[in-house]
Amino acid sequence: MSSYKPAENRYEKMKYRRCGHSGIDLPLLSIGLWHNFGNHDDLENSREILRTAFDNGITHFDLANNYGPPYGSAEQNFGRIFKEDFKPYRDELIISTKAGWDMWPGPYGNFGSRKYLIASLDQSLKRMGLDYVDIFYHHRPDPDTPLEETMGALDQIVRQGKALYVGISQYNAEDTKKAAKILKEQRTPFLIHQPRYNMIDRWVEDKLLGTLDDLGIGSIVFSPLEQGILTNKYLNGIPDDSRAATEGSYLDKSQITDKVVKQMQQLNEIAKKRDQSLAQMAVAWLLKDQRVTSVLIGVSRVSQLEDNIKAIGNIEFSKDELKEIDSILEK
């Protein structure tokens, strides 16, 4: 039996936002298990991160079939922690997973076929020890599979009771409209879109956020700190222990140019005036837009999580602050 008892005042610590035209409220911050939950990571550290998240009212845990490494291990480790700590609180949680990227060898372990999506979710549910997930996403567009097949698989998954809602990730505005039309015709509950979005990577502002707003679909944005660039880590160049200094990481040191360092230093000055760290301001900047339902954060230790949670205390920006941020990033 687990000794874990969540904080009784957890729902007083978090703010929630309605997800599109649905009945679901999501916490302003959700916890992503992309990194730090694989077999190479410390399971007790992973457990403490999830406990701290829930103690602070973070009710949404986001996974995917191939999170790890190795593939599947994040779901497996989450399943173990869930069984030991969170099973009594299942109905207080939103648990999501995804399929769409490379998962197993051969032609049926990738992209968007009905066979792949349904098989992948069956595997995910076994790994996590769940009867259903709250949200199942198609993780990326598939240019070679008819959209009707991919969306039909999402519809079948809901009708089988394996997911309550469906979502998509990384689709552009036009493909999102097409997907929404198919799902609406099937009466499938299309809840949410998960795009990459941060102060540096702002492609969603062009059309996608407006499209989601028009369609009544929520959004949860990932990579809010641009793999750590939007933190104080690179204010003086590249430290030896940083992600950019690690070969094979998702952040290449060629991205940390003198220009980027100078921009981060200037943004950090604005953050200081707001009594925030650069990371806190980067998260708050995303939440200033009501069309962003939740920000998906990934952390490697509890102190980072607690630092991110403080960001929700100040998500208002003056026009002058926004103008100054834009002028720095446009240089």
Assign residue 70 a region (left: φ > 0; alpha: ψ between -120 and 50; beta: otherwise).
beta
Residue 1: the pLDDT is 64
Taken in order 170, 261, 316, 94, the sign of the CA dihedral is: positive
- Alpha-carbon distance of 143 to 125, in angstroms, equals 27
Q: What pLDDT does residue 257 have?
A: 86
Q: Are 77 and 60 in contact (CB under 8 A)?
A: no
Distance in angstroms (rounded) separating the CA atoms of residues 142 and 146: 8
Q: Could you give the CA distance from residue 7 to residue 120 in angstroms, rounded to a whole number? A: 34
**Facing residues of 60 across strands?**
94
Cα torsion 299, 304, 305, 307: sign: negative
pLDDT under 50: residue ranges of the chain: none
The reported pLDDT for the residue numbered 239 is 61
| DSSP-derived secondary structure letter, 251 | S
Contact 35, 298 (CB under 8 A): yes
Q: Are 91 and 59 in contact (CB under 8 A)?
A: no
Instruction: Pick the closest to residue 95 from 52, 51, 48, 137 (CA basis).
Output: 137
In this structure, what DSSP letter does residue 298 have?
-
CA 147 to chain centre: 23
Separation CA 37–CA 290 (nearest Å): 30
Fold of 10-225+290-313: TIM Barrel (3.20.20)
